Chains A and B, each alone.
Chain A
Amino acid sequence: MARFLLRRLALGLLIMWLISLAVFALFFIAPNDVARTLAGRQATPETVALISARLGLDQPIWKQYLDFLGKALHGDLGYDYYHQVPVTEIMAQALPITLSLVVGGAIIWLVMGVFNGVVSAIRPRSVTDRSLTAFALFFYSMPTFFLGLLLLYFLYYQLTVAGYPIFPPGGYAPLSEGFGPWLQHMILPWFTLALVSAATYTRLTRASMLEVLGEDYVRTARAKGIRESRVITRHALRAALTPIVTQFGIDVGALVGGVVVTETVFSLPGLGKTSIDAINQQDLPVIIGIVLFASLAVVVANIVVDIFYAVLDPRVRLH
């Protein structure tokens, strides 16, 4: 197990290094000369040269890369081009918002998806199964931004017009302002994120459960005289969870780097919206910072999934 983990960690580091190379290359692939952009349209060549020197752009590329890597490893991702705010500070402000969105949304979609999937699998091809599948597919086929706008239209606009201003039109209220306002701001984004993803989990759980329910050890559990509810949960679901956990880890890892569409629809200034703004402004240090963080999240999520795999399935431990 320890050797397995070390190998996974080494692989993760290698991937992160490759990503840092790719991300660094962004500086040079970008269409604009950074120093010239910053200096403004009427700058003299001297000003451009000065800015270039201050940003270290006059150094050889390998030195610039080592400099960039060294600073990044010390948690210094540079300053944004426009306001000279440290990138880490920008990200530190955006991250809690994205985390609020992802964690809440993930819990909702996991509970909904697994519950619906199990209910579907217990009575396959029944009316319940078919309606749950239809429900899942309905939201699965809907674009996220459209679902977000629908929720806003009915639950914010129509409710507010009718005199029940329960949900705000968007934006974020930090937890420091109280749990109530935070919850009010998060519920619609949560469900937008969750309803679209729950479909995947419903189908995944249903397929996984149907397979496991046909296993010999489930028949053994029934032959032992175990209550059916316990057969479903302790025996079947426990074994069916493995592929679900894998998918869940990867999905959450990918979303922690920013939930672009949902954050944009609900004007949540999380990592997703920050990165869109940075891309629009060609604010390279911010883009690079978020890309690095998002990659790190995916790499870490994959390692966590592997550890969880071994926790769930005792047969994995020996290898």
Chain B
Amino acid sequence: MALLEVRDLRVAFNTPDGVLEAVRGLSFDVDRGSTLAIVGESGSGKSVATQTITGLTSGARVSGSARFDGTELIGASSEVLRTIRGARIGMIFQDPLSSLHPYYTVGWQIVEMIRAHDRSVSTAAARRRAADLLGVVGIPHARTRIDDYPHQFSGGMRQRVMIAMAMALDPVLLIADEPTTALDVTVQAQVLAVMRRLQEDFGTAIILITHDLGVVAEMSDEVVVMYAGSAMERAARRTLFYANHHPYSEGLLGSLPARGGARDRLTPILGVPPSLIGLPAGCPFAPRCPYAFARCWSETPPLRMVFDDPAHTSACWLTTVLGDRESLRAARVQRELDQPRASTPAPRVEVGP
């Protein structure tokens, strides 16, 4: 049994413009000690999904199931969720400066976390533990820096403080929500190295939310690609990078600059993500998909196994024969030229050279 099993998670918010479906039937598993990367553009629902599981979204309509180590989290009381948050599921966030309280020293903030879950630990003991943790994540002079305020640390050091705090109670799961997005590239690598080392030492499972495929390649065992609130493709890391199936994954990887090869033009995914209010039937990616055909507009594809690999699923009607794609692309280009779809948001298609 996996450590965390999420099944058909749906999260919706009432907005003045209508019901916004932020997460639409998301399922995934996280195994003990492994790293699952959730990849997607801003607004694809990746943060909302994980924050909902830990009870941090308020005012949302939530359905589905999330079993964490045998405990159902969806619909659990706020007290149950509170005792799990911090102690068993640690969390770190994107911007470490705004995520740490500016009025308290980092030591105070870590001590508070430890004592919130175990009153029997004395403040002095919690302080010693906090200083040890700061040392473990690589903060020099941890014993004196424990009394510094967050603004006295650099960005990378602040994120190390966040990691130290999240790991203070030795959680079995760490949710890292864009942990390196706000950091310099060189600092990113150091922070990722700290996370990986802690994972090896403590056997912590990690859910890594990111839009940075470089981070995915560096860290993950398995990848879920999210688009418009649902999973488009699920695969092991290598499979995703070298034998992906879903056109959205293909587009994501195609928009990466190839290492050393600066001469090729990048291939952006055309168009913009759809509004999550009143999403029409069919595949949400169809308006931007170069291979979309009639079925894509009418039926929503479920996640199903592709390439005979039980660990690889894709929500796409395309057959597994990759050769089909070229003819489909040509057919779509022809169709666009014949009669541009009025309803789709400007699916401009570049005709080849």
Contact = CB atoms under 8 A, between A and B. Distances in A.
Nearest to A314: B149
A74 interface: no
Interface in A232-283: 235, 238-239
Nearest to A222: B56
Interface string B161-178: 010010000000000000
A70 B305 CA distance: 94
B93 interface: yes
A217 B116 contact: no
Contacts of A225: 82-87, 113, 116-117
B83, B86, B117, B162: residue with the most chain A Cβ atoms closer than 10 Å: B86
Interface in B102-126: 102-103, 112-113, 116-117
A215 to B, nearest CB: 7
A221 B48 CA distance: 17
B128 interface: no
B102 A314 contact: yes
A220 B93 contact: yes
Interface in B207-224: none
A219 B101 contact: no
A2 interface: no
Contact of A223 (B83, B85, B95, B102): B85
A312 B117 CA distance: 27
B99 A315 contact: no
A226 interface: yes
B100 interface: yes
A227 B82 contact: yes
Interface size class of B (residues with CB under 8 A): 20 to 34
Contacts of B101: 217, 220-221, 235, 239
Nearest to B148: A314
Contacts of B112: 224, 226
Contacts of A222: 56, 85
Contacts of A313: 102-103
Contacts of A228: 78, 82
B67 interface: no
A224 B117 CA distance: 9
B51 to A, nearest CB: 8
A216 interface: yes
A217 B82 contact: no
Contacts of B103: 238-239, 312-314
B205 interface: no
Given A235-B101, A239-B101, A224 B116 contact: yes
B98 interface: yes
A216 B116 CA distance: 19
Interface in A192-223: 215-217, 219-223
B233 to A, nearest CB: 29
B34 interface: no
Dominant SS at the A interface?
Answer: helix
Nearest to A217: B101
A221 B113 CA distance: 8
Contacts of A216: 93, 95, 98-99
Interface residues of A, number: 21
Nearest to B86: A225
B199 interface: no
Contact of B116 (A226, A238, A312, A315): A226
B107 to A, nearest CB: 13
Interface string B79-91: 0001111110001
A62 B117 CA distance: 72
Contacts of B84: 225
A315 B103 CA distance: 8
Interface string B45-59: 000000000101000
Interface string B314-326: 0000000000000
A219 B165 contact: no
B102 A217 contact: yes
Contacts of A224: 85-86, 112-113, 116, 165
B151 interface: yes
A238 B108 CA distance: 14
A271 to B, nearest CB: 37
Contacts of B113: 224-226
Contacts of B99: 216-217, 219-220
A235 B101 CA distance: 7
A223 B149 contact: no
Contact of A239 (B56, B85, B102): B102
Nearest to A236: B101
Contacts of A220: 91, 93, 99-101, 162
Contacts of A227: 82, 116
B103, B113, B117: residue with the most chain A Cβ atoms closer than 10 Å: B103
A216 B100 CA distance: 8
B243 to A, nearest CB: 36
A70 B243 CA distance: 91
Nearest to B55: A222
Interface of B: 54, 56, 78, 82-87, 91, 93, 95, 98-103, 112-113, 116-117, 149, 151, 162, 165
Given A216-B99, A225-B83, 13 more contacts: A215-B98, A216-B95, A220-B100, A220-B162, A221-B101, A223-B54, A225-B113, A225-B116, A226-B86, A226-B116, A227-B82, A313-B102, A314-B102
List the 4 closest pairs (A to B, CB-CB), nearest first.
Answer: A225-B86, A216-B98, A223-B91, A225-B85
12 contacts: A217-B101, A219-B56, A220-B100, A220-B162, A222-B56, A222-B85, A225-B84, A225-B86, A228-B82, A235-B101, A239-B103, A312-B103
